[in-house]
Amino acid sequence: GGHVRGQMTTMTLVPAVADIAGTVPVVAAGGIVDGRGVKAALALGASGAMLGTRFLVAEEANTHDVYRAAIVAAAGHDATYTGLFDVGWPAAPHRVLHNSTLRAWEAAGKPAPGTRPNEGETVAIRDGHAIPRYGDDTPTRDTSGALEALALYAGQGVGAVKRVEPAAAIVASLVSEAGLGAPDATGA
């Protein structure tokens, strides 16, 4: 997904983990945005799937509309692997959508921390607290400022996320597309 600690893909990691997990449930994550991905994860041996980018655009999510719009407008190749947004989360590679902060850093030759363009500059405010450029904060509904310049985390499946809708509609679509039958609200 948008947060990347390792380099193995979901397609190779899930079966390897499922093989050693025994009866321990395995939850697949990374690049899953629709029922086809859920079905594939189950076929690979996962007990379930976790979707990050897909639920960022759910109506109920605390995602700012600027961030939602960037996700819906993105193509699959727009999720860039980097470690750029490291203030607050050092040494943690991630995928983000291209934005003004990333473009300025690339144009400057990808300088190291401490020498990056406008480093330390406040680009947004949330709850009265400054959010610095290169910080790991994302735009939530209560964030103001240059929201497009913040970390816009997104996984590789971002290009398939094309609309904002209620979480219940997303779940119903996932279940239907995966061929799992109708969601059971009773939990039975």
pTM score of the predicted model:
0.90
The token pair that represents 79 in the structure block: 């999720």
Residue 142: HSE in the Cβ half-sphere, 13 Å Cα cutoff:
6
The model's pLDDT over 99-142, given as tens digits with 9 standing for 90+, comes to 999 999 999 999 999 999 999 999 999 999 999 999 999 999 99
Single-letter amino acid code for the residue at 173 = S
Closest CA to 165 of 72, 82, 101, 95: 72
The model's pLDDT over 50-105, given as tens digits with 9 standing for 90+, comes to 999 999 999 999 999 999 999 999 999 999 999 999 998 888 889 999 999 999 99
Is 65 within 8 Å of 84 (Cβ atoms)?
no
Cα–Cα distances (Å) from 16 to 20, 22, 28, 69, 180, in that order, read: 7, 11, 11, 36, 24
**């991630």: which residue's tokens?**
94
Domains of the chain: 10-177 (3.20.20.70)
